[in-house]
Amino acid sequence: MHLQPPLHELVSCLRAPTTCLSSRDGQIHLRGAQGVYHRDVRVLARGLLQVQGGEPEPVMTVAAGPSRTCFVAVVRGVADRGADPALTLVRERQACGDGLTERISISSGAESPVRLTVTLHLGADDRAMDAIKGGRPPGSSGPTVTGGDGTLGWDADGLAVLATARDAQTDPEKGVMTWMVGLSPGQTAELVWELRITAHDPVVAAATGSPRWARPVVRAGDPRLAEWVDRSLDDLDSLRMVDVARSGSEFLAAGSPWFFTLFGRDSLWAARMMLPLGTDLAASTLRALAGYQGERVVEESGEAPGKILHELRSRPVRVQDGGTPLPLVYYGSVDSTLLWVSLLHDAWRWGMSDALVEELLPAAQRAMQWVRSCADPDDDGFVEYVDRSGTGLANQGWKDSGDSVRFHDGTRAESPIALVEVQGYAYRAARDAAALFRAFGRPGEDEWSSYAERLSEKFRRSFWVDHPDGAYPAMALDRGKAKVDSLTSNIGHLLGTGLLSAQESALVAQRLGARDLDSGFGLRTMSTRDGGFAPLSYHCGSVWPHDTAIVARGLAAEGHTRQASELVLGLLRSAAAFENRLPELWAGFAATELPRPVPYPAACRPQAWAAAAAVSALTTLLGLTPDVPSGVLTVRPLPETGVGSLRVDGLVVGGQRLDVTTHPGGGAPTVVCAAPLRVVTEG
């Protein structure tokens, strides 16, 4: 049996589309997931530094942002006198979009001159990322290495890789670079080597320039909040990529290292959470995805007219060990199309220009055509999915692992499956489309308003599960329209969509706030009372920060402020425990059981929607609801935030600066808005 390698103890240094994963001493060993990755290929499997034939002894690792890491070590047994080490070594690693650079500084505190032999052992590689993720053993040999004066080069699955080192001798056969270093007392020597990767006909590439969003200044009684937001924005910067094959538009890659590319659902949610910092990212993400909007029915890829993709790859990726690779443009997502429409609507409400909305409206009309023609194959009134190819994703909601949709007794549901949150997304997309079409004089307002009304009525009849502790919506309907009666975080995504009545919203909020779902470190994906629950299950008991942030926002929007505050505080606790870089997910153990969240070993870190959850949490705390087309901004902060005083300067609404200060203990917030909006506040 092949096992997925763990990531949680590795040090990540990245700048999309390059990631370097090493051990905490900076060494890249020939084991597990360690290595340098570029566009779904591991281009370097080993980077072992030695001085006088031995490895430096690690002292400290310091991350200076997502793209730069310093590894501090000492060299023992060379010129030492007594207990104090005479030689200090600092290995500074800087990732960039086309590779990385390392500066190795060796400082001498010896009493006499020393001569050193410094070697860097490089292991060329060309293994596909999905093979490493799947834990499959490597083949018998790697690529052939060639060399010249201070250079080593090889081909990695079509990527040209070149390692260069100034003043070093190279041995291509052994993959070794060697420096001869002489140090006088008090002297420091600096050695530099670089790894550069060139892709032919790239699909995606590194973004250039500064991020296209504002950088707010956060001041809170709890300093952890500002630290979390700052680190998250740095990580999001490192995930910026550009679709060079079609639109040339910027987007956020889903996550490092497994999902370092354009993902429909992930990139859309991340851009949606980032709207309080400006609409540029939303606009470019919408453009990037519209460039791949489906045109015809293709069962192999899941493509259909008007459909938004699930993921875009530069080379084939296998979902299962030994399975058929997914197509490079794969559409196996039931919700990306709905989320695309709602992001366009929300960006318009936050102040995206009418001209940009007009540009994207034809894609919105095609997306809604998919809802009309393809999303409900059995005509039962619900949006559902089934993998007709037999080689794609069995589950196509955000919980897309094969075992994620389970009944209360733990048995798996069979497709076609209609997920509960997808019905909320469909309702919201229909309402959003109707509003856009009305505002811009396009046909379809009445059709989609009527669709939403019919969906609401049918949902109310079909999804609710009776329970002694209070009714709740089922996770899904299976192929026979039976209610998949497990209690999951999915139901929280209904909040804020408008699909639920006030009474139904209160029932959902009550269940979400109970300890079987709220772990204290965030919202569990499945109740501890369900048969499929396991704290280290990918989708059946773990905690996902984006999921928690979405639900917290929905709770606040519908007036359930206590539960919203608790979820935000759970994320804040977790952020501090993870050095303010929230991973993709963590285990669903309770905060009453363990003092800090338990890592999920194979989680991506950073992950776009996990990082963007910090901005979403900030929006929830402040209670921001804009309607720029109507000229109104509503600000209703949570009454009990748990973070004390809160001031945020430098948000953006309507393309203009927004500053908000909340006052603990009551009173309306102080709002300074440069946009010509009527501000409605509530303490």
Asked if 260 contacts 17 with a C-beta cutoff of 8 angstroms, the reply is: yes
Q: Is the pLDDT of residue 674 over 90?
A: yes
* Helix or strand run (H / E) with residue 614: helix 608-622
Predicted pLDDT of residue 315: 87
Mean pLDDT, to the nearest integer, of 212-229? 97
Which tens digits make up the pLDDT trace of 459-499?
999 999 999 999 999 999 999 999 999 999 999 999 999 99
pLDDT, average across residues 271-292? 98
Q: What is the pLDDT of residue 318?
A: 84
The reported pLDDT for the residue numbered 664 is: 81
pLDDT of residue 465: 98
Give how far Cα 33 sits from Cα of 10, 46, 49, 535, 557, Å: 9, 11, 18, 23, 41
* Residue 199 CB neighbours (<10 A): 18
Please check whether the domain covering 11-200 is classified as CATH 2.70.98.40.
yes
The residue length of the chain stands at: 683
Closest CA to 554 of 496, 513, 640: 496
Digit-coded pLDDT (tens) for 367-415: 999 999 999 988 999 999 999 999 999 999 999 999 999 999 999 999 9
How far apart CA 518 and CA 187 sit, in angstroms, is 56
For 425, the 3-state DSSP assignment is helix
DSSP structure class, residue 500: S
Q: H or E element: which one contains 267?
A: helix 264-273
Q: Which of 58-67, 291-300, 445-454, 665-674 is predicted with the least confidence, judged by mean pLDDT?
A: 665-674
Q: Token pair 């489906």 is at which residue?
A: 294
pLDDT at 256: 96
- Angstrom distance (rounded) from CA 339 to CA 433: 11
Beta-carbon count within 10 A of 612 CB: 30
Q: How confident is the model at residue 140 (pLDDT cuts 50, 70, 90)?
A: low
- Split at pLDDT 50, 70, 90, the class of 201 is confident
What's the one-letter identity of residue 383?
A: V
Distances (CA, A) of 301 to 144, 295, 296, 387: 35, 12, 11, 9
Answer yes or no: is pLDDT of 552 > 70.
yes
Q: What is the DSSP string of 126-182?
A: EEEHHHHHTTPPP-S--PPPEEETTEEEEEETTEEEEEEETT-EEETTTTEEEEEEE
Nearest to 557 by CA among 422, 428, 378: 428
- Residue 19 has a pLDDT of 97
| Cα end-to-end span (Å), the chain | 57
Average pLDDT of every residue of the chain: 96
Report the share of the chain in percent with pLDDT over 70: 99
Indicate if the pLDDT at residue 534 is higher than 80: yes
Q: 40's torsion region: left (phi>0), alpha (psi -120 to 50) or beta? A: left
Is residue 42 helix, strand or coil?
strand
pLDDT tens sequence across 604-660: 999 999 999 999 999 999 999 999 999 999 999 999 888 999 999 999 999 999 999
What's the pLDDT tens digit per position in 148-159? Answer: 889 999 999 999
Q: Which two tokens stand for residue 265?
A: 């659902």
- CB burial readout 73-93, b (16+ within 10 A) else e: bbbeebbeeeeebbbbbbbbb
In this prediction, residue 495 carries a pLDDT of 98
User: What is the model's pLDDT at position 322?
Assistant: 65
DSSP 538-587: TTTT-B-HHHHHHHHHHHHHTT-HHHHHHHHHHHHHHHHHTTT---S-B-
Q: Give residue 129's pLDDT.
A: 92
Q: Which residues, 6 or more positions from 354, have their beta carbon under 8 angstroms from its beta carbon?
A: 440
- Min mean pLDDT across 81-90, 253-262, 439-448, 547-556 is at 81-90
Q: What are the E-state strand segments in 504-544?
A: none
| Paired strand residues for 69 | 63, 93
Q: Per-residue pLDDT tens for 587-617? A: 999 999 999 999 999 999 999 999 999 999 9
Is the predicted pLDDT of residue 666 greater than 80, yes or no?
A: no
Average pLDDT over residues 80-88: 88
pLDDT above 80 (res 665) = no
Q: Is the pLDDT of residue 324 over 90?
A: no
Compute the distance between CA of residue 154 and CA of residue 168 in angstroms, rounded to an integer: 18
Measured torsion, CA atoms of residues 434, 625, 555, 535, in degrees rounded to the nearest 10: 90
**pLDDT for the residue numbered 275:** 98
Would the pLDDT of 137 be above 90? Answer: no
Question: With bands split at pLDDT 50, 70 and 90, how would you rate the model's confidence at 136?
Answer: confident
**Phi and psi (nearest 5°) for 387?**
-85, 100
Of the two residues 194 and 321, the one the predictor is more confident about is: 194
